[in-house]
Amino acid sequence: MSRVHMTDAGETYHGQPGPERSAGRLRRMARGWGGEDRWRRGWLLAVVAVALALALLLHSEVPNAVGNLGSLWETFLPWGGLLVPVLLVGALIRRSVVALVALLVPAIAWLNLFGGLLSDRTGGTGDLTVLTHNVSADNPDPVGTARQLAASDADVIALEEVATDRVEVYEKQLAKAYPYHDVQGTVGLWSTYPLEDSEHVDIGMGWKRALRATVRTPDGEVAVYAAHMPSVRVQFRSGFTAEQRDRSAEMLGRRIAAEPVHDVVLLGDLNGTMNDRALAPITAQMRSTQGASGEGMGFSWPADFPMARIDQIMVRGLEPESSWTMKGTGSDHLPVAASLNFP
């Protein structure tokens, strides 16, 4: 049996409070946001909100002196936006008008940095389609991975972390679709167009983890670089250890800067995001396909729950038409592809 409520006006409602009771509840809620101290509540939350906005907009100023904190923050910079709803909950609990207004600052800052990546712009088809994938030396299904990549319709494929004992597997599975290829150490290029002048590029690793080749396309020649930067680690005592990666970025940046071919493509696992200042020797002279066009954030690692875009496709001279990540292959990275146009 439903409950019967009698209002002061003598109206009866079954199972629901009367209009005067609802109005009283709204008035009590409104009074909770008022009072003489309404402008004094939540100032700490407001200060944190403004600090978050500054950390987002001025991320390059966050110091690296202690544990490379700046680079670590820049690696996961998009996730800083998750602090906005956390602060919002705090502002609502404190019923702070000041904190709510202050939260607009980091929200706008985040949208200014990453709002353009939220739209899906993967439909365009350009003159040249390229793909990069860290296939993982521990990939349990290299044959399946190679077959999936062969079906991608990319014109040029760069593979990183190709174990020595698996080179023949990728060569065999990709041979029909990609008659031209070269492998240097643990990185390789496969192409539907002829490759010329292929050579190892020294990035200070002590073994071969980068190469450069000229791809002869119907629209002109393109210098294609494939690279696998040194890994980085986050450790409790030493912080974000990325010194070797940073030195490799400087060496690769100098090599690309001296590249005589006008149109250049860099494909690879750079173990860093476009926001990471340590990659400036490269990012300062090349354009990311992720920033120009893409499918959402385009995170590529780790494959099970992507949190960062560390697999990059960057160009100089060419124009990005669209970019996207592909489904997982058994590697701990997702393949990343882009469609490019000649100017």
Domains of the chain: 33-114 (no CATH), 128-341 (3.60.10.10)
Cα distances (Å, whole numbers) of residue 77 to 61, 80, 259, 311: 13, 5, 31, 16
The two beta strands, 220-228 and 264-269, are: parallel
Per-residue pLDDT, 9? 46
What lies within 8 Å, CB to CB, of 23 at 6+ separation is none
**Chain centroid to CA 280: how far?**
16
CB atoms within 10 A of CB 172: 11
Q: Among 132, 156, 127, 117, which Cα is nearest to 318's? A: 127
Where are the strands (E) in 117-172, listed by range?
Answer: 128-134, 156-160
Per-residue pLDDT, 125? 80
Cα separation, 313 vs 296, in Å, equals 15
* Each residue's pLDDT tens digit, 53-76: 999 999 999 998 777 889 889 999
Per-residue pLDDT, 329? 97
Handedness of CA 150, 292, 309, 167 (dihedral sign): positive
Where are the strands (E) in the chain, listed by range?
Answer: 4-6, 12-14, 128-134, 156-160, 180-184, 187-191, 195-200, 210-217, 220-228, 233-235, 239-241, 264-269, 287-288, 311-316, 319-325, 336-341
> What tens-digit pLDDT sequence spans the chain (343 residues)?
445 444 444 444 455 555 666 655 645 555 556 666 666 789 999 999 999 999 999 999 999 877 788 988 999 999 999 999 999 999 999 899 999 999 999 999 999 999 878 766 555 689 999 999 999 999 999 999 999 999 999 999 999 999 999 999 999 999 999 999 999 999 999 999 999 999 999 999 999 999 999 999 999 999 999 999 999 877 655 566 789 999 999 999 999 999 999 999 999 999 999 999 999 999 999 999 986 555 678 899 999 999 999 999 999 999 999 899 999 999 999 999 999 999 8
Helices 83-94 & 97-114, crossing angle to 10 degrees? 170
Cα dihedral 145, 151, 153, 157, rounded to 10, equals 20
* Each residue's pLDDT tens digit, 12-67: 445 555 566 665 564 555 555 666 666 678 999 999 999 999 999 999 999 987 77
Q: Which amino acid is at 152?
A: S
Per-residue pLDDT, 6? 47
Cα separation, 142 vs 162, in Å, equals 10
Per-residue pLDDT, 19? 63
Q: Among 58, 138, 49, which Cα is nearest to 94's? A: 49
Per-residue pLDDT, 330? 95
Per-residue pLDDT, 8? 47
* Each residue's pLDDT tens digit, 181-196: 999 999 999 999 999 9
Per-residue pLDDT, 40? 74
What lies within 8 Å, CB to CB, of 293 at 6+ separation is 121, 122, 124, 320, 321, 322, 323, 338
Per-residue pLDDT, 151? 96
SS3 9: coil
Per-residue pLDDT, 142? 98
For 79-110, give one letter per residue: b (16+ CB within 10 A) or e.
Answer: ebbebbeebbebbeebbbbbbbebbebbbebb
Which own/partner pairs from 254-258 qualify as long-range (CB within 8 Å, at least 24 positions apart)?
254/281, 255/201, 255/212, 255/225, 256/225, 256/282, 256/285, 256/286, 256/316, 257/285
Per-residue pLDDT, 30? 54
User: What is the pTM for the complete model shown?
Assistant: 0.84
